[in-house]
């Protein structure tokens, strides 16, 4: 069935005349007449009866009009919904991020983004970098904010920010007696590390292995707050992103100590699937992140966004 013919028929019934239907559809009256007659020939039934100047639908015409009315109501609703998505008056965005950023960075980012786009619903999931890359590949997320690792070829990675990785200890830890600590000395102390899929753990372990070292005792935990509780009790040390511990360090609850051989850092990327057409909501979020890309330091970025939200 030709929708243009159906639209012409629907308009004639709704307006009551061919001329009014022509005005509504911005075509000539003969064009409307031809469309309706073509529809009748296609269906094999008369759809309109004429009584003088009055047009009345036949029984089949009434039935078809009811269906046509539902069809074009849905068409109008679909057009409106698409327009709202384009204009960001509604929409949803499914994001993924690594666990430390979910707690310490994303509240500021999401709050600031929703100040600009209050009608977009943001769904945030957390996981390890490995889990988030798989989530992008399996279409569970449109975008993910992760620590940089070697990504699969199907992943497009956009540099976003960075943070220092610091050795975190209890203020009572004996390691603080030295100005700097060596990797050899760290290998002899119990280390509390993040879970297996963590980019931080992969980076630090690669450094230990490069130097031929193996930590003597390992406690593995997926929750940063749990790790910090263990450090407070002086059960070991941990390599953590500075954004995770800056408040505790300021208050003197935790301390950091420089590593003798080198400094560690974590590069943060925004990733999405190559070749995937991003939704208007995802595109706007990516643009929003790019606008704050100049603030390369993660701690400064969080402070900047938090200040924006609190004064907005």
Taking CA 105 as the corner, what is the angle to CA 100 and CA 110, rounded to the nearest 5 degrees? 125
Q: At what angle do helices 280-291 and 106-116 cross, to 10 degrees?
A: 110
Give 51's Cβ-side CA count (13 Å radius).
5
CATH number at 3-86: 1.10.10.10
C-alpha span between 290 and 159 (Å, rounded): 9
- 307: pLDDT strictly greater than 70: no
Q: At what angle do helices 59-86 and 280-291 cross, to 10 degrees?
A: 10
CB 100 within 8 A of CB 225: no
Predicted local confidence at residue 149, as pLDDT: 87
CB 133 within 8 A of CB 98: no
For 228-239, give one letter per residue: b (16+ CB within 10 A) or e: bebbeeeebbbb
- 165: pLDDT strictly greater than 70: yes
DSSP state of 90: S
The residue ranking higher by pLDDT, 89 or 172, is: 172
Q: Which CATH number fits domain 91-162+267-311: 3.40.190.10, 3.40.50.720, 3.40.50.300, 3.20.20.10?
A: 3.40.190.10
Predicted local confidence at residue 153, as pLDDT: 95
pTM, two decimals, is 0.70
- Do 91-162+267-311 and 163-265 come out as alike in CATH topology? yes
Predicted local confidence at residue 62, as pLDDT: 94
Q: Which of 29-43, 146-160, 201-215, 249-263 has the lowest mean pLDDT?
A: 201-215
So where are the chain's domains?
A: 3-86, 91-162+267-311, 163-265
- 297: pLDDT strictly greater than 90: no
Token reading at 118: 């209050």
> pLDDT (tens digit, 9 = 90+) per residue, 182-240?
999 999 999 998 776 677 788 888 888 999 998 887 888 878 889 999 999 999 999 99
> pLDDT (tens digit, 9 = 90+) per residue, 29-44?
999 999 999 999 999 9
Region 157-175: mean pLDDT is 92
> pLDDT (tens digit, 9 = 90+) per residue, 80-138?
878 777 667 778 899 999 888 888 888 888 988 988 888 889 999 998 888 999 999 99
CATH class of 163-265: alpha beta
């Amino acid at each position: 069935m030709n929708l243009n013919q159906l639209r012409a028929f629907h308009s004639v019934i709704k307006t009551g005349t061919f001329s009014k239907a022509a005005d509504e559809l911005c075509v000539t009256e003969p064009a409307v007449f031809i469309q309706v007659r073509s529809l009748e020939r296609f269906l094999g039934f008369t759809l309109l009866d004429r009584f003088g100047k009055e047009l009345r639908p036949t029984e089949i015409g009434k039935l078809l009009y009811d269906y046509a009315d539902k069809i074009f109501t849905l068409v109008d609703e679909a057009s409106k919904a698409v327009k709202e998505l384009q204009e960001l008056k509604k929409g949803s965005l499914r994001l993924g991020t690594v666990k430390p950023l979910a707690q310490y960075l994303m509240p500021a980012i999401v709050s600031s983004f929703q100040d600009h786009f209050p009608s977009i619903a943001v769904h945030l999931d957390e996981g390890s970098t490995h889990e988030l890359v798989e989530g992008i590949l399996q279409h569970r997320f449109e975008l993910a904010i992760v620590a940089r690792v070697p990504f699969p070829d199907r992943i497009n990675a956009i540099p976003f920010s960075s943070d220092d990785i610091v050795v975190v200890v209890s203020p009572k830890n004996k390691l603080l007696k030295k100005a700097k600590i060596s990797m050899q000395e760290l290998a002899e102390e119990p280390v509390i590390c993040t879970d297996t899929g963590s980019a931080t753990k992969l980076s630090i372990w690669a450094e230990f292995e490069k130097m031929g070292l193996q930590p003597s005792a390992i406690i593995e935990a997926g929750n940063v707050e749990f790790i910090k509780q263990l450090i407070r009790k002086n059960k070991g040390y941990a390599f953590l992103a500075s954004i995770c511990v800056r408040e505790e360090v300021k208050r003197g609850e935790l301390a950091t100590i420089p590593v003798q051989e080198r400094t560690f850092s974590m590069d943060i990327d925004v990733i999405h699937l190559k070749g995937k057409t991003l939704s208007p909501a995802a595109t706007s979020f990516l643009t929003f992140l790019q606008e704050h890309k100049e603030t390369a330091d993660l701690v400064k970025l969080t402070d900047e966004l938090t200040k924006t939200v609190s004064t907005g």
